[in-house]
């Protein structure tokens, strides 16, 4: 899972991909407090900050926040919080869990509709376009891991 975002999040028919990033803090992104601007393939951007990062012998946890979305697709989003958990089940298998939660802007559709707007956002965006992007990312991670596992040593 340790590869650049531009090789991880691809453009789809409905969502921009990542074209690169620019560090706002010293060092690499991932340590708590590290921040970067993520440049998107539609010419827009977003900001991310690492909140937690813990690596143990057979598990890891990474939590981050994303805000300042400038892409029109994310106009109703105030911020999102993502989390990755990995657990090594045995030497050849790792379970990866990726979750996301979003805070909608209260003054922009569909957030201005309250509970109904949150439901619409979940049904149209989260369960559709965003779920497809997350599945694509996780599939890419799985393919990379399987390729490394079968590569000659």
Q: What is the CATH number of domain 5-150?
A: 3.30.530
Pair 110, 118: CB distance under 8 Å: yes
Reduced to 3 DSSP states, what percent helix, strand and coil does the chain have, rounded to the nearest 5? 30, 40, 30
User: pTM of this prediction?
Assistant: 0.91
Digits of tens for pLDDT over the chain (153 positions)?
A: 778 889 889 888 889 999 999 999 999 999 999 999 999 999 999 999 999 999 999 999 999 999 999 999 999 999 999 999 999 999 889 999 999 999 999 999 999 999 999 999 999 999 999 999 999 999 999 998 888 877 676
SS3 8: coil
DSSP state of 18: E
**Two tokens, residue 152:** 């000659």
**DSSP string spanning 109-120?**
TTGGGTHHHHHH
**Residue 36 and residue 66: Cα distance in Å, rounded?**
10
**Residue 102 and residue 114: Cα distance in Å, rounded?**
14
Q: How many helices (H) and strands (E) does the chain have?
A: 2, 6
Contacts of 128 (CB under 8 A, 6+ apart): none
Domain boundaries, the chain: 5-150
pLDDT for 153: 63
């Amino acid at each position: 899972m340790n590869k650049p975002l531009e090789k991880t999040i691809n453009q789809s028919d409905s969502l921009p991909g990542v074209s690169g990033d620019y560090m706002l803090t010293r060092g690499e992104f991932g340590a708590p407090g590290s921040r970067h601007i993520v440049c998107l393939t539609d010419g827009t951007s977003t900001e991310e900050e690492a909140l937690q990062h813990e690596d143990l012998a057979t598990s890891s946890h990474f939590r981050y926040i994303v805000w300042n979305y400038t892409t029109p697709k994310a106009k109703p989003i105030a911020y999102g919080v993502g989390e990755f958990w990995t657990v090594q089940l045995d030497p050849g298998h790792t379970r990866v869990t990726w979750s996301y939660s979003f805070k909608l802007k209260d003054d922009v559709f569909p957030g201005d509709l309250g509970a109904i707007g949150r439901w619409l956002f979940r049904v149209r965006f989260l369960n559709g376009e965003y779920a497809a992007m997350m599945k694509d990312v996780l599939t890419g991670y799985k393919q990379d891991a399987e390729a490394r596992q079968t590569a000659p040593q």
